[in-house]
Amino acid sequence: MEASPSNIGKSNKLSKAKKVSNTNDFSLGNSPFVCGWWGSLLTSTSSCCSFPSYYYYFFTFFFCTASSSFPVASQPLATPPTAVPPLYNHKYSRVIISTSAAFGILLFLFFCAMALFKCLGFKLKRRSGVLDSKVAGDEEENKDCSKKFGVRRFTCDEVEKFTMNLSRSRLIAYGGFSTVYLAQFPDSLLGAVKIIDLSSERFQKVYQQELDILLQIQHENIVKFLGYCDNGEEGMLVFEYISNGTLQEKLHGTDARKMSWKNRMAIAFQLAKAIEYLHDKCTLPIVHGDIKASNVLLDKKFNCKLCDFGSAKMGFSSTILPPNSSTNRMMLGSPGYTDPHYLRTGIASKKNDIYSFGIIILELISGFEALSSDSGERLISKAGNILRDASKVAEMVDSRLNGAYDLEEAKAMVSLAGLCLGDSPSLRPSASEILDTITSRIPSIFSLSKNLTDY
């Protein structure tokens, strides 16, 4: 049976419609694949940032809905649709698509911002929690150290009562940013209260640094730390009171005759023990940074007590790297005692303390100041002759000893001082090596108290 012309025309139109449909099928619309893909993406994102589950449902709904607004290839209809004017159809589609896209983009950016803020907020809270736990840990560590060494925290009222309201009659010493007062406790024992001005950030840092170190140390040749107090404006450190003054006063004052050769050797030995403790036997190595005769206290039996840890550094195994040149650097040490290598490089280390110890050895032998208050001449320059030739040490032995010294011991101590004062810090001996030398070559220390040789 032959097909009629009308049937042939209809079949041609339908075949053309199928071809157009196949070539224009560029969008998947709101197919299950699209919804599933966006859903899986949002699920993985939510697991990383932990934002609420309703974000996930919103985004899934949004993209499934928004996808339906884009052109989708329609299936061929049994009957042709009613013709729509081409111009009107084009304008209507463009307005709908533009509006939907703009609205969708705005909503997407809004919820992305909310999710981002939530993630950042979580991280900040977590970081804050870590910092809070660290501060709490430091406080707990300080409490443990206080219990271990018998250190207590005083109230400001107690400190004022001990010092008679910081009476001028109780003033012992004063410096650039601290003063020291004599304190009397209820049990009649005496103490020394060091008051540090906390008006600047620098002084606050110095106070906290010294407090942290004092809470970590206890040694028979280091002044005993009893407690502390701070009121925001002043920091107060309480120590045992050492009644016999400083090595500076004994060597360079009117009492130098009372210091025998054996006393001087014993002080050198005890000071070396204190330095060894700080460098090698503390939990964290400590560099004192300001070893000098005025920071060596003496009790009635001339036992050595190292004090003043305001310049000390803790937690460095061998060297302390200098801060950036853009920041203000507080120099360590005192004139006449400071290591020239540190002055040149700004690199502080344990060997700076060894250099300062070498200067004190020369002071004990000669009785001269590290830096002459009259001429400004440094002791190391004055002693250059005997440092090069230890056999000439008799030329510089303190005349106030009236010849009551051991010449061989003097030679050994000058040779030791020469090693401590060497130009290269790496070639200087350690505190342990210094102690080995003193115990093997200075027999006079054994004739004093038994605790001097307890090493």
Domain assignment of residue 54, yes or no: no
Helices H / strands E in the chain, number of each:
14, 12
Region 24-31 average pLDDT: 44
- Same domain, yes or no: 170 and 252: no
Last residue of a domain, one of 217, 240, 263: 240
Phi, psi of 388 (to 5 degrees): -80, -30
In this predicted structure, the answer to whether residue 452 has a pLDDT above a threshold of 90 is no
What is the 8-class DSSP label of residue 196?
E
**In this predicted structure, what is the pLDDT of residue 14?**
44
For position 21, what pLDDT does the model report? 44
Give the sign of the dihedral formed by CA 403, CA 405, CA 406, CA 410.
negative
Task: Find how far residue 161's CA is from the centre of its chain.
Answer: 35
User: Which range of residues forms the domain containing residue 339?
Assistant: 245-322+334-446
Write down which residue in 240, 264, 287 finishes a domain: 240
Is pTM beyond 0.75 here?
no
Kindly state whether residues 206 and 264 are assigned to the same domain.
no
Q: How far is it, in rounded angstroms, from Cα 392 to Cα 74?
A: 113
Residue 225: pLDDT band by 50, 70, 90 thresholds? very high
Query: Residue 370: its pLDDT value, please?
Result: 96
Instruction: Give the active site residue among 290, 308, 339, 398.
Output: 290
132-146 mean pLDDT: 48
Exposure string for 128-142, b = 16+ CB within 10 A, e = fewer:
eeeeeeeeeeeeeeb
Interval 311-350: pLDDT, tens: 999 886 445 555 454 444 566 779 999 999 999 988 889 9
Instruction: Identify the weakest region by mean pLDDT among 120-129, 362-371, 419-428.
Output: 120-129
User: How does pLDDT run across 379-399, given as a tens digit for each residue?
Assistant: 999 999 999 999 999 999 999
> Does residue 136 form part of some domain?
no
For the question of residue 144 being annotated catalytic, the response is: no
Rounded CA separation 285/381 (Å): 31
* 299 lies in some domain: yes
- State yes or no: pLDDT of 132 exceeds 90: no
- Quick one: pLDDT at residue 25? 44
Beta bridge pairs of residue 349: 319
When pLDDT is averaged across residues 293-319 and rounded to a whole number, the result is 87
Task: Say yes or no: 209 and 266 in one domain.
Answer: no
Task: Give the percent of the chain with pLDDT over 70.
Answer: 66
Q: What's the Cα-to-Cα distance from 396 to each of 292, 384, 399, rounded to whole Å? A: 20, 11, 8
Whichever domain contains 312, its CATH number is: 1.10.510.10
pLDDT of 97 reads 76
Same domain, 311 and 202: no
Most confident of 79-88, 123-132, 181-190, 263-272: 263-272
User: Cβ distance 45 to 37 under 8 Å?
Assistant: no
Q: What percent of the chain has pLDDT over 90?
A: 50
- How many domains are there within the chain? 2
